[in-house]
A = this chain, B = another copy of it.
Amino acid sequence: MRIGVLTSGGDCPGLNAVIRSIVHRAVVDHSDEVIGFQDGWKGLLECDYRKLDLDAVGGILARGGTILGSSRVQPAHLRGGVQRAKGHVADLGLDAIIPIGGEGTLKAARMLSDAGLPIVGVPKTIDNDIAGTDVTFGFDTAVGVATEALDRLKTTAESHQRVLIVEVMGRHTGWIALHSGMAAGAHAIVVPERPFDIDELTVRIGDRFEAGKKFAIVVAAEGAKPRAGSMVFDEGGRDVYGHERFAGIARQLSVELEERLGKEARPVILGHVQRGGTPTAYDRVLATRFGWHAVEAVHRGEFGHLTALQGTDIRMVPLADAVEDLKTVPDQRYAEAECVL
């Protein structure tokens, strides 16, 4: 068989592990041929590709980034994109395409699948918010990086007798905030799914100081929002000065909490360190399994599906199921964290 692979969307630890695994399984065990498209869908649309053999994937298992490059180009962005993709698949004699990507990529995958292309998707997001799979690779690494940072920040917050508001990734869901906050013992966690009450947050942190503690750590998902009208900045994310560029929940909360508590409060924005670099062992194993099973699905002709972790098994889930809704954090998980507002 002849299989095309591409990686699309933002960086995510484990992408190279998936590519390597696909090549190992397909080339060694099935004697398939594998080609990799450059820079995501762009490579498919422009027929920019190269052959992927064992040498091409040597030494990449533990490396961050993607040897195939990535872009945010989607087939629907170009007039006639879908037709062009179909044409190239036919020209290249491809029996299957395996796109590795996030929500947008999988929606495009579904569209192409509906248009008749033989597609097996591999879900990718550090945010862990793709439905149908228990976990996505990259998430464990992101949580690990955030937790290590929180561990370090704790001693600093304590020495400086401060409130630190640490902003972690998660525009739509609070998975990284929840896990890293739990792992590091944060004193409050605010997430997009549950608009927080600034009064409650103030009381919670204030109580902690009154109990004699010298510091507090608040973990805030970047998409966390206060309940409407409860803070000095409005819901649009603009601060009191109407300034947008430097907006961000951690900076806003630090201004607000400092005024309310009369304690120094400082924002820390972890940013892109959460999405790059060497994947954890967990993510490498998950990514490797996804790659292996994607090849198997191709050989079974099980197209229009994506690989998913369910319990300890990898199962195939219809693309349609994965792209309907984001997987948000269930209430039970917040209850367990005990410190979410």
Query: Could you list which residues of chain A lie within 8 angstroms of chain B, going by C-beta atoms?
Result: 10-11, 20, 24-25, 28-29, 61-66, 69-71, 134-135, 140, 143-149, 151-161, 164, 179-180, 182-185, 214, 241, 243, 245-246, 251, 255, 266, 268-273, 275-278, 280-282, 284-285, 288-289, 292-293, 310-313, 332, 336, 338
Contact = CB atoms under 8 A, between A and B. Distances in A.
B184 A64 contact: no
B288 A159 contact: no
A237 to B, nearest CB: 14
A49 B157 CA distance: 22
A281 B159 contact: no
Number of copies: 4
A245 B152 CA distance: 25
A136 to B, nearest CB: 12
Given A182-B285, A281-B180, A276 B62 contact: no
A77 B218 CA distance: 32
A152 B29 contact: no
Contacts of A280: 144, 280
A277 B155 contact: yes
Contact of A273 (B10, B268, B310): B268
Contact of A64 (B144, B155, B278): B155
Contact of A277 (B69, B152, B182): B152
Q: Which 8 pairs across A and B sit closest by C-beta, in order of nearness?
A: A152-B277, A64-B155, A65-B155, A156-B276, A246-B246, A11-B159, A183-B281, A147-B281
A8 to B, nearest CB: 11
Given A153-B277, A268-B272, 15 more contacts: A61-B183, A62-B151, A64-B156, A69-B214, A70-B160, A140-B282, A146-B281, A152-B273, A152-B277, A153-B273, A156-B275, A156-B277, A159-B276, A183-B285, A292-B336
Contacts of A143: 281-282, 285
Contacts of A281: 140, 143-144, 146-147, 179-180, 183-184
B241 A62 contact: no
A179 B148 CA distance: 21
A34 to B, nearest CB: 15
A54 to B, nearest CB: 9
Given A134-B311, A184-B61, A288-B336, A272 B164 contact: yes
A143 B281 CA distance: 7
